[in-house]
């Protein structure tokens, strides 16, 4: 008797099973929206698909009467610039801190407790401090992403470095490798794909910090727009923006995963594709 845990879906089944939850959610929304609109045609909580189309056309393809800009494009560009800069700085800092923490015992003894304690600080609680120090401009928003994401990646990289088999490090030392050479030739090649994996896993957290910062202080951005129109109960704008943010997050995750497995094919070995 073949056990359920040993059954593997075909490619067609993978596509169908992956698509099924999205279809069910859309059908559930359409049914609920139809019921509410039948009772009240002016209901704003669950707009019809035609309302979504009109809102997207107004935000994405018609220039703003006040600024002449395409708001959807401007919001997307502003948010992606903040997110990209914050995640890039976090990845570089994590690489510079994670490898010494995992590789050099004296550095680990001195800084590991501090990094562990700092990672427990709720970033949203220090957002007012960031606004006081850096002002209400872009720097505070990027700093929030960096402070919120960097400790998570650092701790993950530290753990990955410590998991490198001791036999590899001993063999490199017997071949005459210095600490610096071992970091460059043994540690870094193995850690870099894991850094990309850690960035992938923290992208969702980075989006949360970005939207939160934009909601408090911004003049453009996806989070700013959502919180601006909520006072008018404009669900026909809010829901497409949320769907767009979700799509961007999913797209970045997919592209980063494909890039990692393309550049480091050995890292894919033994992993189940999904």
Phi, psi of 142, rounded to the nearest 5 degrees: -65, -40
Q: Report the distance separating Cα 101 and Cα 117, nearest Å.
A: 14
Q: Report the distance separating Cα 106 and Cα 113, nearest Å.
A: 12
Place of tokens 């870099």: 192
2 three-state secondary structure: coil
pLDDT for 187 equals: 93
Q: Confirm if 44 and 235 have CB atoms less than 8 A apart.
A: yes
Contacts of 200 (CB under 8 A, 6+ apart): 253, 256, 257, 260
* pLDDT tens digits for range 225-252: 999 888 888 888 999 999 999 999 999 9
pLDDT for 272 equals: 52
Q: Report the distance separating Cα 61 and Cα 51, nearest Å.
A: 15
pLDDT for 273 equals: 52
pLDDT for 1 equals: 66
pLDDT for 140 equals: 87
Token readout for 94 is 């994590």
Q: Confirm if 210 and 141 have CB atoms less than 8 A apart.
A: yes
Report, in angstroms and rounded to the nearest whole number, the Rg of the chain calculated over CA atoms: 23
Mean pLDDT of successive 10-residue stretches along the chain, which has 274 residues? 81 89 93 90 86 88 82 92 94 94 91 89 83 83 91 93 92 91 92 92 91 85 90 88 93 92 79 54
pLDDT for 40 equals: 87
Q: Confirm if 201 and 260 have CB atoms less than 8 A apart.
A: no
pLDDT for 271 equals: 61
pLDDT for 246 equals: 92
Token readout for 41 is 């045609």
């Amino acid at each position: 008797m073949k056990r359920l845990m040993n059954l593997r879906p075909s490619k067609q089944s993978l596509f169908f099973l992956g698509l099924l939850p999205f279809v069910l959610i859309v059908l559930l929304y359409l049914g609920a929206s139809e019921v509410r609109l039948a009772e009240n045609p002016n209901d704003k909580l669950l707009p019809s698909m035609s309302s979504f189309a009109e809102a997207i056309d107004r935000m994405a393809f018609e220039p703003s009467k006040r600024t002449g800009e395409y708001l959807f494009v401007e919001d997307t560009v502003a948010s992606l610039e903040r997110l990209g800069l914050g995640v890039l700085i976090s990845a570089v800092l994590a690489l510079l801190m994670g490898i010494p923490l995992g590789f050099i015992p004296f550095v680990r003894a001195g800084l590991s407790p501090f990094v562990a304690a700092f990672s427990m600080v709720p970033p949203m609680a220090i957002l007012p401090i960031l606004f006081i120090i850096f002002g209400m401009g872009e720097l505070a928003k990027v700093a929030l992403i960096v402070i919120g994401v960097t400790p998570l990646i650092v701790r993950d990289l530290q753990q990955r470095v410590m998991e490198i088999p001791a036999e590899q490090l001993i063999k490199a030392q017997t071949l005459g490798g210095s600490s610096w050479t071992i970091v460059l030739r043994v540690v870094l090649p193995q850690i870099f794909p894991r850094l990309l994996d850690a960035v992938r896993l923290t992208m969702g957290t980075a989006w949360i910090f970005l939207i939160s910062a934009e909601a408090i202080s911004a003049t453009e951005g996806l989070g700013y727009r959502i919180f601006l129109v909520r006072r008018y109960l404009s669900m026909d704008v809010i829901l497409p923006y949320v769907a767009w943010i979700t799509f961007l997050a999913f797209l970045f995750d997919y592209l980063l995963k494909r890039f990692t497995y393309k550049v480091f094919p050995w890292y894919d070995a033994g992993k189940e594709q999904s």
